Amino acid sequence: MSKILNFLPKLTGSFALPASENPTIEMVEAAYRHHKMHMRYINVEVGPDNLAKAIEGAIAMGWVGFNCSIPNKIEVIQYIDRLAKSAEIIGAVNCVVIKENELIGENTDGKGFIKSLETIVNPKGKNAVVFGAGGASRAICVELAFSGVKKITVVNRSKKKGADLAELVNKNTKTKALFTEFVDQFSLDPKTDLVINATSIGLFPDVDTDLPINYNTLTKHMIVADVIPNPPKTKFLKNCSAIGCQTIDGLGMLVNQGVACIELWTGIKVDESVMRSRLEEITLKSRNW
C-alpha cells in the first residue's frame, strides 16, 4: 500500500531587524530534523513598521508561532491577546504562540537561563549579583525570583534602569532586590553565590572586553554565568574559570530558550544537545553572529 505524503509543514519563524546574523533558524531546524518534526522555521527581516502586517500574514498562513527579537520584543505586545505572567512582568515577549487565531505572548529568555543554570545549581535560597538592567537582565531577574532566589543585587551603569529593575522585582515577587551602581573595579560581597553577566560586555566583535570587577573579591565557591552566546567562552568566563569558579555560558541560555519555544509551539520537548551542537558547528565556521 502506498504511503500518503504530506507536503505541508507547520510553520514557525522569527521577526527581527536585522535578521541575517541571527542563527536561531539553524538551531531550531536542527531540532526539527532530528525529531523528524514536519515543521519549518523562517527567518524574516521585519521591524516595528511592518510588524502588524507580518503577524497578520503569519496568522493567515497558519503559523503555529514565532519568535520576536530586537527591536520587536516590546513592540509586539500591542498585538498580543494574552500575556503569560512572566512576560507581563518583564514587559517583553520573545515567543508568540498562535492558537485558534489567538496570540499568546511568552518570554522564554529567563526560563532558558534558569534551565541552563540548573545544570549546575538550584538557585533557590541563593544570593545573586546580576550585572546589567536591559532586556536580558529583566528576564533573568524575574525568573531568578520565581525560582526562589533569596536576594538579587542589580548592578548597572545607568542608575535609573538599575533602580527600576530592582523595584520591579520587589513589587512583583517575594525576592528582595536592591540596586548598586556599576563602578570601576566593582567588589563582590563574599556572601554572593551566583554572579551573572547580563550586560552586552564581551559580545562579538568586542571579545577582548571584560567586566570591570575586582577579581580579588571573586571566590571559587561562586558560580558564574554569562548571557553572551558568541563567543561562548568570554574573557569574563575565562578569568572566572582561572580562579576556580564553575561557569555557565550564554549558549546554554540561547539553546534552552529555544527548547522552551518549541515546546510551547508543539508540546514536544526537543533534545537541547542537537541544537547546541549545531550552534557550536556554526561558531567554528564563522564568528559574525
- What residue has cell string 543585587? 153
Whichever of 59 and 283 has its CB closer to ligand NDP, that residue is: 283
Closest CB to ligand NDP: residue number: 134
Taking the complex as a whole, how short is the minimal distance between the CB of residue 78 and ligand NDP, in angstroms?
19
Residues within window 103-162 making contact with ligand NDP, judged by CB under 6 A:
109, 112, 132-137, 156-158, 161
85 three-class SS: helix
Taking the complex as a whole, how short is the minimal distance between the CB of residue 32 and ligand NDP, in angstroms?
19
Among residues 153, 199, 234, 266, the one that binds ligand NDP under rule CB under 6 A = 199
| 112-to-100, 188, 219, 251, 257 alpha-carbon distances in Å | 26, 25, 26, 10, 4
Whichever of 59 and 164 has its CB closer to ligand NDP, that residue is: 164
- Tell which residue, 219, 236, 86, 189, has the closest CA to residue 147: 86
Whichever of 13 and 258 has its CB closer to ligand NDP, that residue is: 258
User: β-strands 95-99, 65-68: how paired?
Assistant: antiparallel
* Residues identified as active-site: 73
Whichever of 59 and 289 has its CB closer to ligand NDP, that residue is: 289
Compute the distance between CA of residue 206 and CA of residue 177 in angstroms, rounded to an integer. 30
Among residues 203, 243, 274, 282, the one that binds ligand NDP under rule CB under 6 A = 203
185: left (phi over 0), alpha (psi -120 to 50) or beta: left
Among residues 16, 51, 154, 227, the one that binds ligand NDP under rule CB under 6 A = 227
- What residue has cell string 531550531? 28
Residues within window 230-269 making contact with ligand NDP, judged by CB under 6 A:
250, 253-254, 257
What mask, x for binding ligand NDP by CB under 6 A, covers residues 167 to 196?
A: ---------------x--------------
SS3 letters across 100-157: CCEEEEECCHHHHHHHHHCCCCCCCCCEEEEECCCHHHHHHHHHHHHCCCCEEEEEEC
User: What residues make contact with ligand NDP under the rule CB under 6 A?
Assistant: 109, 112, 132-137, 156-158, 161, 182, 199-201, 203, 227-229, 250, 253-254, 257
